Amino acid sequence: MHPPSSVVAAPRHWVLPFAASLSEPCQHALPHLNAEGQLPPPLPNLRRLLGALQVSQRLEGDEYALSMPHERVLATEMGWTGAAADAAPAEADGLLPWAAWWAAQDGVQLDLAQCWGLLSPGHWLMGRDHLTLLDPASLGLSEDESRTLLEAVRPLFEEDGWTLQWGAAQRWYAAHPSLQGLPTASLDRVIGRNPDLWLTDHPQARMVRRLQSEVQMLLYQHPLNEAREAAGLATVNSFWLSGCGQPPATTALPPQVQLVNDLRAPLLADDMPLWLEAWQHVDATVLKEVCTALDAGEAVKLTLCGERHAVTLTPAEAPSLGARLGRALRQMTGQLTGRPDAARVTDLLETL
């Protein structure tokens, strides 16, 4: 008899979105993550991991892609195919069925035969020169308010054959045949930016544009919005559609994959002091856990995601004796000079 074949456990994988951004506030904040002149140096666990791990994969993209890099990474982990994350960017961009994923998180049962999209009720802020989409999470919508607004706009959608379902205060779900194959920009891509620039010119998007205009007119003087405005709160005057597609076979991340979202809200809000603080928290908790797993000999992966690219780090091959001695010497020198090895953690973050 042959002995049973050993099964190699999948590596534990930490995915960290919003590790960096090309925005001017973030570019000014990044140098604060470096060690120059700071004792103790910031982000000690990240600095250690950058010294112990090596880049094993780099997912390329650009800041104008409809899908975010971390969305493509997570979609690959779930084994989505067709408009898969690892397909050519032009083929996959904006076609990942995140509505179905969010519905699963909200405990909403979707009709698997229909094509669904995520409707995010939000506020389009009219500035002097252009619109800005505020983060729906910043509106503080209650469940009752969200349900009231959904019922107000429901007739507009159902007249055109749409099916609507409520999922959470910030998430409604909509089904319509026109959503099949419709590329849309991720909500994370549009928050804080001009939504007009992210509305695709796809023929199937025309109905969405019309519905956005009709919803704006309908909600303009809605009593709920008037009450919010009187209370000094932002109104709900439109919606964003994203994550269209038929529900995939899998809508759950594998158990070994951990999504770390601590950096998302402060970066989208351009709150750099809070973002730097969040980085320190992630380093002291999540990245410390990665270091502990690495020390225990576990297989680990760490993926850092920006707004263009994602970089996956894995343990390097066992170094030679000379390389180990060289690293030990550099670490000893760093302890004496206050400039430990891998001092510039932003060398990698700036490439994202």
> Computed over its alpha carbons, how large is the radius of gyration of the chain?
23
3-state helix, strand, coil in the chain (%, to 5): 40, 15, 40
The domains of the chain are located at 12-66+252-349, 98-245
- pLDDT in 10s for each residue of the chain, 352 residues: 444 545 567 899 999 999 999 999 999 999 999 866 666 788 999 999 999 999 999 999 999 999 999 999 999 999 986 444 444 445 678 999 999 999 999 999 999 999 999 999 999 998 777 889 999 999 999 999 999 999 999 999 999 999 999 999 999 999 999 999 999 999 999 999 999 889 888 888 999 999 999 999 999 989 999 999 999 999 999 999 999 999 999 999 999 999 999 999 999 999 999 999 999 999 999 999 999 999 999 999 999 999 999 999 999 875 545 544 544 444 443 443 333 344 578 899 999 9
User: What would be the CATH architecture of the domain defined by 98-245?
Assistant: 2-Layer Sandwich (3.30)
For residue 320, the one-letter residue type is S
Q: Which H/E stretch holds residue 151?
A: helix 143-158
To the question of pTM greater than 0.85 for the whole model, the response is: yes
Q: Which H/E stretch holds residue 12?
A: strand 12-16
